[in-house]
Chains A and B, each alone.
Chain A
Amino acid sequence: MKHISSNPLALIGFIIIASILLLALSAPLIAPYDPNAIDVKAILLAPSATNLMGTDGLGRDVFSRMLYGARISLMVGFVAVGIATAIGIVLGAIAGFYRGWVDTVIMRLVDVMLSIPTFFLILAVIAFLTPSIWNIMIVIGLTSWMGVTRLVRAEFLSLRNREFVLAAQTLGAKDARLIFMHLLPNSLTPIIVSTILGIASAVLVESSLSFLGLGVQAPQASWGNILTDGKEYIQFAWWLSLFPGLAILLTVLGYNLLGDGLRDAYNPRSSQH
């Protein structure tokens, strides 16, 4: 925490993320309207006292939709990254710990996955399956584990020859114990950094998928689909674009600032003057 507070940008990032998380969690409490409540007489109204962020093409309150959309967009980020990190940790640990042919096979698999343009892969898979929120989370997760794998593997490779590991091995510690009790805890920070940055990317990917019609589907609100719904009215209903756009911007910015700040703090050499 000391690291964060000494870096004003990371602090800003942290505040942004905390605020958005708070808003998302308290959505059911503070949302003034039901996000799916249609009112055909209130189509495309500008922001006012009754509708803080205006209404959309079906008369639904944008502010309420934004709050619930926060939950969806963030959930997509968390779950997708969770999947990616889980896969990455497992594969990276195995590759870094056992090395040899296991390592080669896993790294070649990483190469194969990296040779296909990621967005193309996500696009193709989601278009071929149905664009449900679970498919989106799983697919983003299944296409972003490569970075984590490399990270974990690199950490394990460098840590594995340290004295504490050798000591534990001499004492007869089994592989699993070594991995979970010694190596993994010491590799945690880069994993956390990568997770934080991954959430930001996942939120952006969801909004891109929404633009192509493959994101979270109606009537569920997500920032991506509110933004996409409003794109044809950008000259007129500016509120349909401004608020979700800003929300995505701030969220992704916040995660990046925090993640970058943590990475700076962790890297011993860059913090010297």
Chain B
Amino acid sequence: MNYRCNQTALYKRTALILCVVLTASCSDTSVPQANNQPNYSQNYPTSEGGTLIDAMTGEPSGLIAMIAGESAASAIAGNIFNSLLKYDRNLELTGELAKSWDISADKRTISFHLKPDLKWADGHALTSADVLFTWQKVTDEKTRTPYGSDFKLVTKAETPDAQTFRVSYEQPYAPALDTWAGLHILPKHLLQDQDINTTAFARKPVGSHYYQLDNWKNGQYLKLTRNPNATQGQAKITHLMSRIIPDKAAQFLELSADNIDSMGLNPIQYARIFPAKPELNKNIALYKELGNSYTYLGFNLKRKPFDDIRVRQAINYAINKQEIIDGVLLGLGEPVASPYKPGTRWSNPLLKPYPYDPNKAKALLKAAGYADHDGDGILDKDGKPFRFEILTNQNKEREMTGVLIQRRLKEIGIDANIRVLEWASFLGRFIKPKEFDVVVLGWSLSLDPDQYSIWHSSQQGPGQFNFISYNNPRADELLEAGRLELDADKRMKIYHEFSKILLEDSPIVYLSAGYGLSAIHKRVRGISNPAPPAGIGHNTYEWYIPKAYARSEMSEH
């Protein structure tokens, strides 16, 4: 039959085409792979060159950090722009653009002295005029930035000369220096006739730090290359590339195939997968560092029975925090007893978290009037069972934490059910109107100990951060005093006392402070391990890639 022959011909042709395409793609023009593995255990002295490739799940909307806001933007912009100050490896403030600074006798004026001969990447001089310009922009009503409030506290900003920048505050403002460590200084000569909200500069920035933007392919990657005029000296690695890979599973595959050099890991990948896969461990090293964030269970203090301190403390005793750290974080976290990073001066070493003590929990609840009157296993009071809803956002770890808490609460007779919400819904429908019982959330904090906006009783408005409605006059006093006290030791005492009050009041239950976990390819040398207080990222400019390990295609262009 003729048609059969024709079909065979059709299939033959298709098969031939497929073979051609496949063989063409089989030619390996990419990086050296598992076939010819170099041995990554050799030591090499510091050298220059190479490309560091990492992955981001999101893409920056622009590289002017004060406008863009998202973490992807600040991460990349942090390689391009300088601030007046920075934090050193021990989390002490030190100068970046400023070589020194002094504070006036009345503690209301700070004078920054810039280093001499600073330049922008385009060769133009960097002076105090740029700092003044940046401050004017961040405090300008027309600038669409959410970060202006700290800088608006400055009543007067002046530039007595090209190397000096002076700011005066109405009252001594202790968090001030921290704010100046976070403000990227922008070039006046390039932005003065631009609308900062819509300027093309955000996609083609000119900075003063180790790197400058080489290429930005929308949706694909951003490539940075060394800035020859860098104010802080030269970084060792020549190129940085951030690939945009939204899916974490795909990122992990890319890491396994040696297409990216670093990525953030979750506890399971760190503690279970890597140890089980020798082929991964051969080429990739793991790092952990304590971050500056903690997870907590927050009570709506305006709702019964959470206004009763015994109930809150009971729940605190009922929750097994170590179980959460072991189960959710696989042990890669630490318990906390204050809203500060353990090991820093602001964290009160004398405070200990509430131990896991279900009996004490039951006793406290009994004292508060709860007992199982109807024998259904759930405590009740005045005929109403002790039942509430725990809300959290779509975050695997928080969901797991919620489930563990639910189980522990059930053991002492509290019926809690969990609801996972999408973030915007969560904020708009539940947090803002304070329509919630209990939440499991986290705070990611700045390095300055001031937490006025989270705990002060004046910050309970809709959309403000004291959404749990905490109101303690003594805490208020301490928070206000902490903002005015510039002496580090006195400040420390203030916040230690503040933490003690918080722990006793238990408006939230501290759950854990998780480690930041990273996997970085062994070709990248110079990483501080174990991580200093500032984390492994504090000295990325000192990292280097020995020539023997550099990717073959990345020749110096």
- Nearest CB of chain B from residue A37's CB, rounded to whole Å: 9
Given A43-B330, A233-B273, A236-B277, verify A57-B256 contact (CB < 8 Å): no
Minimal beta-carbon separation of B347 from chain A (angstroms): 27
Binary per-residue interface labels of chain A (48-69) against chain B in the complex, 1 for a CB within 8 Å, 0 otherwise = 0000000001110000000000
The answer to the question of A19 belonging to the interface, with a C-beta cut-off of 8 Å to chain B, is no
Total count of chain A residues near the partner, CB < 8 A: 24
20 A-B pairs with CB atoms under 8 Å apart are A38-B404, A40-B323, A43-B268, A43-B272, A44-B268, A44-B272, A130-B421, A213-B394, A213-B422, A214-B422, A219-B418, A229-B396, A231-B247, A232-B248, A232-B252, A232-B268, A234-B249, A235-B252, A236-B273, A236-B277
Of residues 309 through 336 on chain B, the ones whose CB sits less than 8 Å from some CB of chain A are 323, 326-327, 330
Chain A contact residues: helix, strand, loop or mixed? loop
Partner-A contacts on B (CB < 8 A): 247-249, 252-253, 256, 266, 268-269, 272-273, 276-277, 323, 326-327, 330, 394, 396, 399-400, 403-404, 407, 418-422, 425
Chain A residue at minimum C-beta to C-beta distance from B392: A218
CB-based contact B276/A218 at 8 Å: no
**Interface, chain A (partner B; CB < 8 A):** 36, 38, 40, 43-44, 57-59, 127, 129-131, 213-214, 217-219, 229, 231-236
A127 touching B269 by the CB < 8 A rule?
Answer: no
Distance of A160 from chain B, by nearest CB (Å): 41
In addition to A38-B407, A234-B249, A236-B273, 8 A-B residue pairs with Cβ atoms within 8 Å of each other are A57-B268, A57-B396, A129-B425, A130-B421, A214-B422, A217-B394, A232-B252, A236-B272
Distance A150 CA – B272 CA, assembled complex (angstroms): 53
> In the assembly, what is the distance between CA of A52 and CA of B361, in Å?
38
Q: Shortest CB–CB separation between residue B19 and chain A, in angstroms?
A: 29
Contact A58 B277 (CB under 8 A): no
User: From residue B282, how far is it (CB to closest CB) to chain A in Å?
Assistant: 15
Taking a contact as CB atoms under 8 Å apart, the answer to whether B425 and A130 are in contact is yes
Please list the 10 inter-chain residue pairs (A to B) with the smallest Cβ-Cβ separation, ordered nearest first.
A40-B327, A231-B249, A236-B273, A218-B399, A232-B249, A217-B420, A213-B394, A232-B248, A58-B400, A130-B425
In the complex, the chain B residue whose C-beta lies closest to that of A131 is: B422
List chain B residues, Cβ under 8 A from A231.
Answer: 247, 249
CA distance A43 to B272 in the complex (A): 9
**Residues in A whose Cβ lies below 8 Å from that of B266:** 232
Given A43-B272, A218-B420, A232-B269, A58-B403 contact (CB < 8 Å): yes
Contacts of B396 in A (CB 8 A): 57, 229
Would B404 and A235 count as touching, CB distance under 8 A? no
Contact call B394/A235, Cβ cutoff below 8 A: no
- CA A232 – CA B420 in complex, angstroms? 21
* Residues of the A chain whose Cβ atoms lie less than 8 Å from the Cβ of B421: 130
Report yes or no: A40 in contact with B277, Cβ–Cβ below 8 A: no
Measured CB to CB, the nearest residue on chain B to A217 is B420
Whether the pair A235, B277 counts as a contact (CB closer than 8 A) is: yes
- Which chain B residues lie closer than 8 Å to A127 at the CB level? 422
CB distance from B215 to the nearest CB of A (A): 30
Whether B403 and A57, one on each chain, are in contact in the complex, defined by CB atoms closer than 8 angstroms, is: no
Are B422 and A57 interface neighbours, CB within 8 A? no
Q: Which of A40, A59, A130 contacts B422 (CB 8 A)?
A: A130
Q: Name the A residues within 8 Å of B249 (CB-CB).
A: 231-232, 234
Rounded to whole angstroms, the CA-CA distance of A270 and B327 in the bound complex is 59
Query: In the bound complex, what is the Cα–Cα distance between A36 and B247 (angstroms)?
Result: 26
In the assembly, what is the distance between CA of A233 and CA of B269, in Å?
8
Whether B276 and A236, one on each chain, are in contact in the complex, defined by CB atoms closer than 8 angstroms, is: yes
Question: Which of A59, A130, A232 gathers the greatest number of chain B CB atoms within 10 Å?
Answer: A232
Contacts of A130 in B (CB 8 A): 421-422, 425
Question: Which listed residue (B256, B327, B330) contacts A235, Cβ 8 A?
Answer: B256
Tell me the complex Cα distance, A36–B256, Å: 32
Residue numbers in B under 8 Å from A57 (CB-CB)? 268, 396, 400
Q: Which among B330, B418, B420 has the highest number of chain A CB atoms within 10 Å? A: B420
Among A59, A218, A229, A231, the most chain B Cβ lie within 10 Å of the Cβ of A218
Q: Which residues of B contact A219 (CB under 8 A)?
A: 399, 403, 418
Residues in chain B near residue A235, CB distance under 8 A: 252-253, 256, 273, 277
Give the Cβ gap from B356 to chain A, nearest Cβ, in Å. Answer: 14
Q: A235 CA to B330 CA in the complex, in Å? A: 19
Nearest CB in chain A to that of B271: its residue: A43
Minimum C-beta distance from B248 to chain A (A): 5
Question: In the complex, how many angstroms separate the beta carbon of B107 from the nearest chain A beta carbon?
Answer: 49
Decide if B273 touches A36 in the complex (CB within 8 Å): no
Task: Find out whether the CB atom of B403 lies under 8 angstroms from the CB atom of A40.
Answer: no
- Shortest beta-carbon distance, A39 to chain B, in Å? 9
Q: Which residues of A contact B253 (CB under 8 A)?
A: 235
CA distance A229 to B396 in the complex (A): 9
- Inter-chain CA distance A130–B273, complex, in Å, is 33
- Complex Cα distance, B266 from A229, in Å, reads 13
Nearest chain B residue, comparing its CB with the CB of A60:
B403
A94 to chain B, nearest CB (A): 36
Min CB distance, A28 to chain B, in Å?
A: 20
- Which chain A residues lie closer than 8 Å to B394 at the CB level? 213, 217
- Using Cβ atoms and an 8 Å threshold, which residues of chain B touch A217? 394, 419-420
Complex Cα gap A3–B277 (Å): 52
Chain B residue with Cβ nearest A129? B425
User: What A residues does B327 contact at CB under 8 A?
Assistant: 38, 40, 43, 58-59
CA distance A41 to B305 in the complex (A): 34
User: In the bound complex, how far is the Cα of B418 from the Cα of A218, in angstroms?
Assistant: 9
CA distance A147 to B127 in the complex (A): 68
A253 and B422 alpha carbons, distance in the complex (Å): 32
Question: Which residue of A is nearest B421, CB measured?
Answer: A130
